[in-house]
Amino acid sequence: MSSTSAQPLAVALAVTAAGTFAVANVVQQRVAARLRSDAAFDSAVLLRLVRQPLWLAGLVLVAVSLSLQAIALDLGRLVVIEPVLASSLLFALGLAAWADHRRMRPGEWLAALATFAGLVVFLSVARPSGGEATAKPGLLGLAALAAVVAAVIGGLLAVRMSPLRRALTLGVGGGIAAGVTDALTKTVAALVGAHQLGAFADVRPYLLIVIGLLTYTMQQNGYRAAGMAAFLPVFSVLDPAVGSLLGILLYHEHLGGGAGRIAAEVAAVLAATWGISRLAKSTAEAEPVRPVVPPKKIKLATPTVSIGPLKSPLPAAQLVGDALPAGALLAAPVLAPPLLASGDDSSVPR
């Protein structure tokens, strides 16, 4: 099949992959949001979610989507296919609104389109080229360490935040980890292609497994914190941005120059940033955060008696305790009701 005739099929596969990935995100977000946990950040969230059949179905959809993406990228041009894959963000936000039985407002659609457009322009314009097929283990190890540090800081900060800000913070940490995952994937794919199973004698596949699990942990905790519109946009934008930056730093790729390209990149970042902030605000308005009010303590009434002309009541238990030995205080609850019922203060010691 020629490259020209394969383009429509590649686009169709990319659209299918984007839709499948969006369904997987919505399914997993809804399962994660219902997961009961006292912790704001659950480090073992994957172990708990893997027991949920619906979440596992979402994981299968992720695998199907990644397979379709690989075929589409093999058949089509990268500059065409990657922006199509980015449309999963719009699909996911629309599906999430439909699943919640609400309509997205015009402002929300505008914000989603701005985020999507910023992502597409960034992918199309700021595309690194050249460079090496693999990166050195030491450099990838430093990138992995940076991802772990960012995730730990994000998790610690998120514990003290409201659900909305927690989702945004985890989206930042998760997006950074996802970008590092992309950088590791590039090297591991080259190693497997050259050495097959021998690639696992290298440390880099194991770094990919660790950071991949870290990324997924951040993602599912972000889904637990708030609605999809609060987490997914910032995650989706930071993933390719960090991946592109690491392509320049670790793989020695380079960007095309020119004032026009730089202006387009800045405009893309600004548009995506505005869209993310607007979507987060919409999520806050749709799902107001209510503080948890502790249950009120029930105060039991203390029986009292009046002494002669004194108008201020005194607890009966105190009066009995003044006249009886300390051990006899156990009888106060029994003695107090008769004292209160009789209204006769003659039995009260003077």
Q: What is the mean pLDDT of residues 118-140?
A: 86
- Rounded (5°) CA angle 75-77-83: 115
Do 220 and 151 have their domain in common? yes
Asked if the structure places residue 23 within a domain, the reply is yes
**Structural domains counted in the chain:** 2
3-state SS track over the chain: CCHHHHHHHHHHHHHHHHHHHHHHHHHHHHHHHCCCCCCCCCCCHHHHHCCCHHHHHHHHHHHHHHHHHHHHHHHCCHHHHHHHHCCHHHHHHHHHHHHCCCCCCHHHHHHHHHHHHHHHHHHHHCCCECCCCCCCHHHHHHHHHHHHHHHHHHHHHHHCCCHHHHHHHHHHHHHHHHHHHHHHHHHHHHHHHHHHHHHHHCCHHHHHHHHHHHHHHHHHHHHHHCCHHHHHHHHHHHHHHHHHHHHHHHCCCECCCCHHHHHHHHHHHHHHHHHHHHHHHHHHHHCCCCCCCCCCCCCCCCCEECCCCCCCCEEHHHHHHHHCCHHHHHHHHHHHHHHHHHCCCCCCCC
Structural domain for 256, as ranges? 3-286
For the entire predicted model, the pTM comes to 0.75
Do 200 and 226 have their domain in common? yes
What would you report as the CA-atom Rg of the chain, rounded to the nearest whole angstrom? Answer: 31
Do 316 and 234 have their domain in common? no
Do 118 and 255 have their domain in common? yes
Asked if the structure places residue 297 within a domain, the reply is no
Q: Tell me what the pLDDT averaged over the chain comes to.
A: 81
Do 255 and 311 have their domain in common? no
Q: What is the mean pLDDT of residues 9-19?
A: 91
Tokens of 22: 């969006």
Half-sphere exposure in the Cβ direction for 339 (13 Å, CA):
25
Distance from C-alpha of 90 to C-alpha of 113, rounded to nearest angstrom: 7
Question: What is the percent of the chain with per-residue pLDDT over 70, rounded to a whole number?
Answer: 78
Do 75 and 204 have their domain in common? yes
* pLDDT single digits (tens) 23-36: 999 999 999 999 88
pLDDT of residue 32: 93
Do 269 and 308 have their domain in common? no
187 or 334, higher pLDDT: 187
A 10 A CB-CB count for 190 gives 16
Asked if the structure places residue 73 within a domain, the reply is yes
Do 136 and 215 have their domain in common? yes
Asked if the structure places residue 122 within a domain, the reply is yes
Asked if the structure places residue 349 within a domain, the reply is no
Which residues are CB-contacts of 111 (< 8 A; sequence separation ≥ 6)? 274, 275, 276, 278, 279, 282
Q: What is the mean pLDDT of residues 147-173?
A: 93
Whether residue 216 contacts residue 58, with contact meaning beta carbons closer than 8 Å, is answered with: no
pLDDT of residue 345: 45
Report the sign of the C-alpha dihedral through residues 187, 190, 194, 199, in that order: positive
- Residue 60 has phi, psi (to 5 degrees) of -65, -40
For residue 341, pLDDT over 70 is answered with no
Asked if the structure places residue 294 within a domain, the reply is no
* pLDDT single digits (tens) 181-222: 999 998 998 899 889 998 899 999 999 999 999 999 999 999
Do 22 and 115 have their domain in common? yes
Task: Give residue 288's Cα distance to chain centre.
Answer: 17
Closest CA to 245 of 127, 350, 104, 340: 127
pLDDT of residue 321: 43
Do 247 and 336 have their domain in common? no
* pLDDT single digits (tens) 228-286: 888 999 999 999 889 888 988 999 888 766 778 888 888 988 999 999 988 888 777 66
Tokens of 106: 């015009």
Asked if the structure places residue 145 within a domain, the reply is yes
Asked if the structure places residue 91 within a domain, the reply is yes
Question: What is the percent of the chain with per-residue pLDDT over 90, rounded to a whole number?
Answer: 43
Given its phi and psi angles, is residue 293 left (phi above 0), alpha (psi -120 to 50 degrees) or beta? beta
Do 240 and 330 have their domain in common? no
* pLDDT single digits (tens) 276-322: 988 888 777 665 444 444 445 545 555 544 444 544 444 444 434 44
For residue 97, pLDDT over 50 is answered with yes
Do 145 and 261 have their domain in common? yes
